[in-house]
Amino acid sequence: MEKKLLTLGHSPDPDDAFMFYGLNIENGVDTNGYEFEQILKDIQTLNEMAIEEKLDITAISLAAYPTISDKYAILSSGASMGYKYGPLIVAKEKFELEELKKKLIAIPGKLTSAYLELRLLLGKDLTVEVIPFDKIFDAVLNGDVDAGLIIHEGQLTYSNYKLEKIVDLGVWWYEKTKLPLPLGVNAIHRKFGEEMKNISNILRESILFSLNHREEAVKYALNFARGMDKNLADKFVGMYVNELTVDMGENGLKACRLLLKEAYDKGLIDKLPEIDLV
């Protein structure tokens, strides 16, 4: 029987690679007649591709969901969120948080959750420059910007660049809400209707497979690790592939809804969509 081809977008990062390890090896996860073509792009590009409806399933920033909520639904599995850690603002020297409002800040994209969360913290009128996430350290070090909003593995490697942490958005959010900080979620196009649940189950099984075959899955994920050894990659995977990734559950859903509501109330997003998890 011919397999049904689905496009699956995700970031070229260790945590996303780890999640989908079970889809990339023989005798991994039973794909139930589907074949997944994996499209690896940075999160800002994936957000833009979802807006253009170019992907069947994709990682997106939660911040981008209001723009595509009529076309895509969020999967209960595959979310990137954690308690008391998240994107960081770093700079060459320490300064007070209030000073950030007057600084030029490099951000990885205007549709990213990290940027939305930074504006929730500091207000909407920030001076920013969009720079690819893996070039932000260089921009800060070269003095092209005053500070950088760091996502992905940079949250663990920033000290290698002798940079100072100004604020951890995950800590700020936890102190404020006692909830995990939502970043990325997996979304599926609504055109699949009843099939969405079957596809969702396959992807959840892949996450569980990787967690149950952690050593091999981390080894595979190392192919996507920038400047990380096995131990650091394993730590990073542990941060963003956890029980909330298998199923975001009540706390994860509550955090997503609260983040979007606060953003809507402050005029940072134009509409407040209901989140109907698959």
By annotation, the residues acting in catalysis are 152
The span from the CA of 257 to the CA of 277, in Å, is 12
**Which among 95, 97, 90, 101 is positioned nearest to 123, based on CA atoms?**
101
Assess contact for 59 and 13: CB atoms under 8 A: no
Residue entry with tokens 């109330």: 265
What radius of gyration, in Å, describes the C-alpha atoms of the chain? 18
List for the chain the helix, strand, coil content (%; round to 5): 45, 20, 35
Give the length of the chain: 278
Residue-by-residue DSSP string for 100-119:
GGGSEEEES-TTSHHHHHHH
Indicate the angle between helix axes 113-122 and 249-265, nearest 10 degrees: 60
Contacts of 56 (CB under 8 A, 6+ apart): 6, 7, 8, 188, 189, 192
| DSSP-derived pairing of the beta strands 147-150 and 104-107 | parallel
Angstrom CA distances, 89 to 54, 182, 247, stand at 32, 17, 28
Joined tokens for residue 79? 């979310």
Angstrom CA distances, 195 to 17, 19, 32, 250, stand at 24, 21, 11, 24
The span from the CA of 78 to the CA of 98, in Å, is 34
